[in-house]
A = this chain, B = another copy of it.
């Protein structure tokens, strides 16, 4: 619209000297020549699509960039994955809520830091300024504050939107599902946090995606560590995001970034390097509580004590086999205030090699697709929405469902397992012509009895094509009507796989 409007605005100036007009276009603040070019290109493209002299519309048949349709097979896999996850959430007593796909723009403002540029805005068509939701956490916080809810355990599975440059082969899209479980409320320390990890453990085990590991850290331990290592306060966030790259880059490169780009001294970087190489369990937390440097930071000590408590609950939940306290874990989001965690798949084989990686992208890329869940504690977010700033402590986990879909789809392909897209139990078929009425009568009985049944929408389909349809869509049984059978008041029931047949009496037809 920018270009169109510009042209209009300028045409209003017609009659002035051409030089003035051209200059005024170039000097219009907020518009660059490149933008105008882009607009013109877009309009020409549109014109081409509308078509030339033949008057026919030429549509571009595609979905929007970074989005996809789900076909029935993909939906069948999606349903299976959702059922496993929802069962787990329900087993843990969660309720569910839903929120609109768009929020007031200002609801999202100031929640995502740099990533705010990835938010989709709606066009201003009069009325409120709206944006598509970027995640489910901010709408959840808005919901809690708006309804003054101080306690809830809820899950929410819905699509979110990011104007990212998607790598769709790795299960990254502009429209994608999030699958969140959160516990809000003022409770005794680490019990809900431990339950979130128990849930991740249950879901990943049940989905059978191969071996996994859940890395745990704490925002306070990271901040305390930076402080005692000598990182200036105003560089915490920036250094944190560099540490976050350790799962994709070797330490040497991370150190280089800290020193060359972020301006840390070699000495400070090396101190950080010592800590972020540490991994362990409750024992590591205990050791660090005694560490001459770490013990200087109250924040770090609070975090370390909580990690200890967390592990004691994880032992009771019997999930410590997969959980590791890892000081290199530094999740990006601004709103985390305490414990953070991330689950990764450790079997390379479980993860489909993305098409791009095969074409020569670095091997690290395919390793990084391993992250399948993440979350943490965010005690301040709800308070940002409350007029009086009242806090509602929250902890939650988000299951990386799109990545899981990709893996499951890949598995289904590789295993050549036949994914059924319907649940039809029986096909009502006919051996001769002119039996449509009898078939419709029989299928009515089946439907009314709750049996999943299909009939072909042809008056006189061939028996072979009816049987073929069963084989293609995995329908296990065919009820075959024939003239002789109708006289005898029976129907032939055939098992498609074995071709076994029995005669069954028709009760009321």
Contact = CB atoms under 8 A, between A and B. Distances in A.
Interface of A: 1-2, 5-6, 8-9, 11-13, 24, 27-30, 38, 42, 46, 49, 57-65, 67-72, 75-76, 78-79, 90-104, 106-107, 110, 120-130, 132, 142-143, 145-147, 152, 154, 159, 161, 163, 175, 183, 185, 187-188, 191-192, 195, 198, 202, 313, 316-318, 384-385, 387, 421-424, 436-437, 440-441, 444, 447-448, 450-454, 457-459
Contact of A120 (B110, B122, B385): B122
Given A129-B42, A175-B100, A191-B457, A422 B93 contact: yes
B126 A124 contact: no
A457 B100 contact: no
A122 B121 contact: yes
A469 to B, nearest CB: 10
Contacts of A29: 8, 11-12
B122 A122 contact: yes
Given A102-B64, A129-B42, A95 B69 contact: no
B313 A63 contact: no
Contacts of A448: 318
Contacts of A124: 1-2, 123
Contacts of A92: 447, 452-454
Nearest to A145: B61
Given A96-B72, A421-B95, A110 B57 contact: yes
Given A30-B5, A106-B60, A451-B91, A24 B42 contact: no
Contacts of A440: 313, 316-317
A492 B122 CA distance: 57
Closest 5 CB pairs of A and B: A187-B457, A72-B95, A67-B100, A93-B454, A121-B123
Contacts of A79: 96
Contacts of A76: 95
B188 A457 contact: yes
A110 B316 CA distance: 62
Nearest to A73: B95
Contact of A61 (B122, B142, B191): B142
A64 B185 contact: no
A22 to B, nearest CB: 12
Contact of A437 (B28, B123, B142, B316): B316
A154 B422 CA distance: 10
A458 B42 contact: no
Nearest to A107: B59
B93 A69 contact: no
A8 B30 contact: yes
A423 B183 CA distance: 17
Nearest to A449: B91
Given A30-B8, A145-B61, A154-B72, A120 B129 contact: no
B70 A97 contact: yes
Contacts of A147: 69, 71
26 contacts: A5-B9, A49-B106, A57-B110, A59-B107, A61-B142, A61-B385, A62-B104, A67-B102, A69-B97, A69-B99, A69-B146, A71-B97, A72-B97, A75-B97, A75-B98, A76-B95, A91-B450, A92-B454, A93-B424, A93-B452, A120-B123, A122-B132, A188-B457, A191-B436, A191-B457, A198-B447
B452 A68 contact: no
B100 A422 contact: no
A91 B452 contact: yes
Given A122-B120, A317-B440, A27 B12 contact: yes
Contacts of A59: 106-107, 384-385, 387
A350 to B, nearest CB: 23
Contact of A99 (B38, B63, B313): B63
A88 to B, nearest CB: 9
